[in-house]
Amino acid sequence: MTDAITRFSGFADLYERVRPKPPREIVDLVRQWIDRPDPDVVDLGAGTGGATLLWDRATAVEPSADMRAVAASRLDPDRYRIVEGTAEATTLPDACADVVTASQALHWFDPAEAFPEIARILRPGGVFVAFDNDWPPSVDWEVDAAWHEFDRTLSALEDTRASRPPKAPKHEHADRLRASGLFRHVTELALHDRDSGDATRLYEVALSQGGAMSARNAGYTDEQIGLAQLREVAERRIPTAAPWWWTYRIRLAVTPR
C-alpha cells in the first residue's frame, strides 16, 4: 500500500499547472473570524503553495520534496518560509500561529495526531481553516457523468490493487473536529469560484489525482484507469475552454482563549 506522500510524488509540475486555485474570499472569511490584522499563518500540506499564496506571508509545511521544490520556485522567500514536515509533526514551536490552514489535505491527516498538533501551534483564539473543492467542477452534464464513471472505475481498480492509503471521509471533517474536544467552536460552509478549461485540462486534472497517477505508474492504461473514456466525452463536449464552476467546502475551528 502506497503512502499519501509517495502517491503525490513525481508530478508536482502538472499538479501546479492544472489544479484549481482556492478563492481569495477564504482570506476575507478568516479575517472576520480572527481579531488580528496581520495574522501569522501556517499552511499544512501546502503542496506547491497554491493556498499559501492567498496570504501576504505564511509558513508552508509540506512533506513531499517534489512539492516543496515547486513551491520554492514560486514563493518569495522574504514573505514565505517552506518547512519539511507533516500535519502530525510540523517541527514548529508552540503557539506560533494565529491561523492554520489545510487545502485539499485534511483527509490525508491522522486526526488523532494532527488535531493536537494543530491545537499546539495555534495561539489562544486562533482559527484552523480546512477547505476542499468538490470534484468535478460543474461544466456540463455529460462531463459530470463521465467524471463520476471515471471515479468509480479508479476506485474499483484501487480496491483491487489495495493501493489506496487510508483517508478520512471529507463529509465527516467537522464532526471529527468537534469530537476532538480541542476547539471551542466548529462550523462549515460553502464558497464558490469560477475558472475555465478545455478537454485537455480536464484530462490532466483527472490525471493529477493521486490514484490515477499511481495506477499509471504501475503500468495500467488510460482505458483501464477510466481516463480514456473521460477524455473522449470531454473532447466532444468541451473542445475549447468553457466556464468551470467550483464549490469549496470550508471547515472553521476556533481554539479556546
**Secondary structure of 33-54 in the HEC alphabet?**
HCCCCCCCEEEECCCCCCCHHH
Full domain range(s) for residue 92: 4-254
- Based on the structure, what is the number of domains in the chain? 1
pTM: 0.93
Give me the tens of pLDDT residue by residue for the chain, a chain 257 residues long: 347 777 778 889 999 999 999 999 999 999 999 978 889 999 999 999 999 999 999 999 999 999 999 999 999 999 999 999 999 999 999 999 999 999 999 999 999 999 999 999 999 999 999 999 999 999 999 999 999 999 999 999 988 876 667 778 899 999 999 999 999 999 999 999 999 999 999 999 999 998 999 899 899 999 999 999 999 999 999 999 999 999 999 999 999 98
65, 127, 78: which is closest to 99 by C-alpha?
A: 127
CATH number at residue 219: 3.40.50.150
pLDDT at site 163: 65
Sole residue written with cell 509517495: 6
Return the exposure string of 6-25: e unless at least 16 CB atoms fall within 10 Å of the residue's CB, then b. ebbbebbeebbebbbebbee
Q: Do the beta carbons of residue 60 and residue 87 sit within 8 Å?
A: no
Q: What residue type is assigned to position 125 of the chain? A: G
Nearest alpha-carbon partner for 72 in 91, 98, 52: 52
Three-state SS string over 81-122 comes to EEECCCCCCCCCCCCCEEEEEEECCHHHCCHHHHHHHHHHHE
Report which residue type is found at 189.
Answer: L
